[in-house]
Chains A and B, each alone.
Chain A
Amino acid sequence: MTRNQLRRLVLDNGLRVLLAPNPTGASIGVAVHYGVGFRTEPKGHTGLAHLFEHLMIEGGHGAPPGGYLPQVQRAGGLGDAKTRQDSTVYYAAAPASALEMLLTLEADRMRSPRISLRNLRTQTAVIDEEIRLMVRNRPYGAFPWVLPRALHTRAENARDGYGETVDLAALDIPLCERFFIDHYAPGNALVTLTGAFDPAAAERVVRRHFEPLPGRPFVTAPDDFEPAPREDRQLSVTDPHAGLPAVAVGYRMPDPMTERADYLAHLVLAALLGQGRHALLRRGPAAPKGVASLSVGCGLFGLPLDTRGPDLLTLFAVYGGGGDGGADTGDSARVTDALDTALTTLAENGVEAGLLRATTARWAAGALRELGDPGTRAQLLGLREMLFGEAELTERLPELVRDEVTAEQVSRAAARLRSSHRAVVRFVPRPAATATETETLTGTATASGRREAAV
């Protein structure tokens, strides 16, 4: 594939613009990232970034009645938004003809979002439903949030995107307006365009709509560095909806900026352990018996390189049942022992060249596949540009993983995990008839957590 040309602009008001044209097809992707996420939330106001996303998606004062999404849909587009640790993104995919309309709507809400008390109350209720759907009403809903809470000590790094019930209830219009002023300045935003557009024409449209926005100072995200954990954490969560026991394991990832090569080696390590049928934890004598479901991944949302802060490598396995003698013994050790054995073997004996090649080739093709969708591509390019100033990283990731991660780096990553402190959380099924608030982590998690924070 010829690498697509990326073009960058910075407007006088500080707004960054990334143009990534791809003439194939008839659609465009638009992503507008803001450098604010749930790690940036002020103390006592958890959940504000996500709630504000729900308000902001409605559009600005210039949007037609009904707001942003109906307007995008009338143009044949699809749109949504997500709140992550360090970023909030509004994105859309649409026919190429909708480019100016989408940029008009984005500039409009960047200028003045339509925030009302009525909408604030409704969206607080909608978020309550979202939390029930994603966390409280489903088996294992505390995953993955239980892991950052177990592994991190700073509140900013331990929190989830939903926030605490009491904080959500206290949010009001002045707080939302303050949040907008502090974090939604053009200088804290990035507009990314992908797909079928002409760069020169697109630049004119961008300038026409965004240059009139006045620049203003904004609050930058704090550096929430914290050292790696110095002890293992063992916890258990009583889950009223789970039918089978499960175990979640979390490790700290290497720093994505200062330890980039190690970070990439961890991606490969996670794939070796859990990706596909040949994965080390799925086959062979060392694989744990009686596992009904297994996933190993990097990043809290299963997407690597999506935060500047302390990040996680996670494993989640449901085990027991199936009438193979392994039914609910509560024995999570068969999973963690298998994991330790696999890590030790990789650390000591390395990884066989053919297996490494197969694993990285498959990983790379999967990453490439995501770039086939203009909306996803805009989100991923913009995300790495916003976090690291490296949109190219998104496009290079497939070949970086396939061609540059060595067997030796993978062994080192395995040794590093083997010797580092981790969190192990057991999910214990409990019949709903006896369900009460649980004694450990879920006690504070009634309004917490999601895998996807989309509107």
Chain B
Amino acid sequence: MNGPETGGDARLPLPDLDTTLPNGLRVVLCSAPVVPLVEIRLTVPYAATGPGEVALRQLLAGLLLQGTAHRDADAFDTALATHGAALTAVADAHRFTVTGHTLADSLPAVLALLAETVLTPRLTEDVVAPERARLARRIELSSHQPAAVAQQALLRRRYGDEAAARRSPDPQLAAACTPDDLAELHERHLGAAGAQLVLVGDLRPEDALAAVTDVFGAWRTGAQDDVPQAPPPFTGGPMLWVDRPGAVQSMIRLATPALPRTDPGYPALHLAQLVFGGSFASRLVAHLREEKGYAYQLGSGMESLPGASTLMIEADSAAEHTAPALAVIRGELERMAAEPPSEAEVDAARSYATGSIATAMSSPASLASGLANLLHIGVGADWLHGWGPMLDGVPHEAVTEAAKRFFRPGGFTGVVVADASAVAPLRRGAGSAELDF
């Protein structure tokens, strides 16, 4: 993997330090003095068990940076800003994440502020009430975004209503949430066990670790069994149509269960995926965009969660091009078995996969996000470092096998969010939302 045309020399650095504090907080530090800043990623994983509970986590996340037991929201935010720091907290079905950066000189002070809000958030009614209203508006706002509509529909298609509901927020639940509920939620889900703090940037690892230990050493361990559950496997099946009256473009989303990132077969599957639709040179992009002009934004990709991953195909296509675009997608899926990836295609995918991840991770911000995501899905901090050699070791036949196994059209299910006119030729009868694919 060396030489001027492959990018194989761009191997990513190993973290300088990867350690776990006695309370269970894993700390991963990486020195990358590109600009005088440090990127901060804190992840606290958990298991969401009931429908709509995500909204409660989102409410808590929304409150995390709105002051602490010791200072109000303005004082807290001004303190952060004075250090050039910005932090945002979000929650989904699997984790809280706090993402941000600070001027390098201020790292200890900003870590102290981060610990203050994570350990002792201000959960009084005067702060909670406006945040509840804000969350409800945000949920409503996203309910009109076509991409969010498609994502929700695809979750329901993949997992059924009940399991999908565990991954979706319920604003009603948040509306009834009291400060006491939040205190309990905080106690139950925001502990150090299983949490990860990634710092990347202009830092000295030993100094940064000392600063982390200083402010997070006293963080209580919390529940040890509060860990994300791998989503249930789902099966292929007909695509479902979701009506969006007046839509001038249809959102096509297809999914099939794939291999978790930790599986030895993952690299071969990833290469097959790049040949199919995961790069600009891929078959799908070449055919659907560069030949037909049926889509601007499209492609395939792997969505990874703890213990599972999904192979996704996405394309947004004009209402009148929806049926032919789906036919192209299906045709390219069938071709993966009929004409498996050639040596040349696999080699191109391999050098792209190796080099582009190093390119993409060359900014401290993306390296920090990349590391945090990898740790969350259960692979080591050295995974990025080993990615190139791992890909080098994949035999061509393994990619062929993956192409045959994972790209069968029947293995996919999905949704099309569209105006009725776009899907009329595909519907399996009046009253049916199922589509021929």
Contacts and interface: CB of A to CB of B under 8 A. Distances in A.
A276 B366 CA distance: 21
Contacts of A127: 296
Given A26-B9, A95-B10, A292-B134, A121 B356 contact: no
A293 B34 CA distance: 33
Given A95-B10, A365-B84, 8 more contacts: A26-B10, A98-B7, A243-B144, A323-B175, A354-B78, A359-B81, A365-B86, A433-B245
A113 B133 CA distance: 54
Interface size class of A (residues with CB under 8 A): 35 or more
B81 A323 contact: no
A66 B294 CA distance: 18
A361 B83 contact: yes
A374 interface: yes
A338 interface: no
A364 interface: yes
Given A93-B362, A97-B10, A129-B317, A435 B246 contact: yes
B203 to A, nearest CB: 13
B25 to A, nearest CB: 25
B140 A292 contact: yes
Given A132-B248, A136-B248, A123 B281 contact: no
Interface in B296-323: 296-297, 316-318, 321
Given A137-B248, A137-B249, A75 B102 contact: no
Contacts of B362: 25-27, 93, 195, 373-374
Most buried by A among B3, B280, B318, B354: B280
B37 A76 contact: no
25 contacts: A27-B358, A73-B281, A74-B5, A77-B7, A94-B359, A95-B358, A97-B6, A98-B7, A122-B290, A126-B296, A129-B249, A132-B296, A132-B316, A136-B248, A138-B146, A139-B145, A243-B140, A243-B141, A293-B141, A322-B133, A358-B77, A358-B81, A365-B86, A368-B36, A372-B34
Interface residues of B, number: 80
B50 interface: no
A101 B133 CA distance: 54
Given A24-B32, A123-B293, A138-B146, A97 B81 contact: no
The 10 tightest CB contacts between A and B, nearest first, are A76-B355, A76-B7, A125-B293, A432-B246, A365-B84, A70-B281, A322-B137, A373-B363, A292-B137, A358-B81
Interface in B136-186: 136-138, 140-141, 143-146, 175
Interface string A1-24: 100000000000000000000101
Nearest to B140: A321
A357 interface: yes
B5 A277 contact: no
Given A73-B281, A125-B294, A322-B134, A78 B34 contact: no
B144 A94 contact: no
B35 A244 contact: no
Contacts of B83: 361
Contact of B293 (A73, A121, A291, A372): A121
A324 interface: yes
Interface string A80-98: 0000000000000111111
B146 A137 contact: yes
Interface string B121-138: 000000000000110111
Nearest to A98: B7
A139 to B, nearest CB: 5
B66 interface: yes
B211 interface: no
A128 B319 CA distance: 12
B281 A74 contact: yes
Contacts of A1: 35-36
Nearest to A292: B137
Interface string B242-270: 00111111000000000000000000000
B82 interface: yes
B295 interface: yes
B370 to A, nearest CB: 13
Contacts of B134: 292, 322
B103 interface: yes
B359 A76 contact: yes
Contacts of A362: 80-81, 84-86
A154 interface: no
A70 B349 CA distance: 10
A321 B141 contact: yes
B351 interface: yes
Contacts of B138: 292-293
Given A70-B279, A292-B141, A362-B85, A76 B10 contact: yes
A44 interface: no
Contacts of A128: 293, 318
B331 to A, nearest CB: 18
Given A93-B359, A94-B359, A357-B82, A25 B34 contact: yes
Contacts of B354: 76
Nearest to B317: A129
A389 interface: no
B85 A365 contact: yes
B77 A278 contact: yes
A69 B249 contact: no
Most buried by A among B35, B83, B138: B35
A290 B137 CA distance: 8
A316 to B, nearest CB: 12
Contacts of B317: 129
Contact of B356 (A24, A73, A355, A365): A73
Interface string A371-397: 111111000000000000000000000
A77 B77 contact: no
Most buried by B among A358, A371, A376: A358
A75 B318 contact: no
A322 B245 CA distance: 24
B358 A26 contact: yes
Nearest to A123: B293
A242 interface: yes
Nearest to A134: B296
A100 interface: yes
Contacts of A411: none
A74 B140 contact: no
B32 A126 contact: no
B393 interface: no
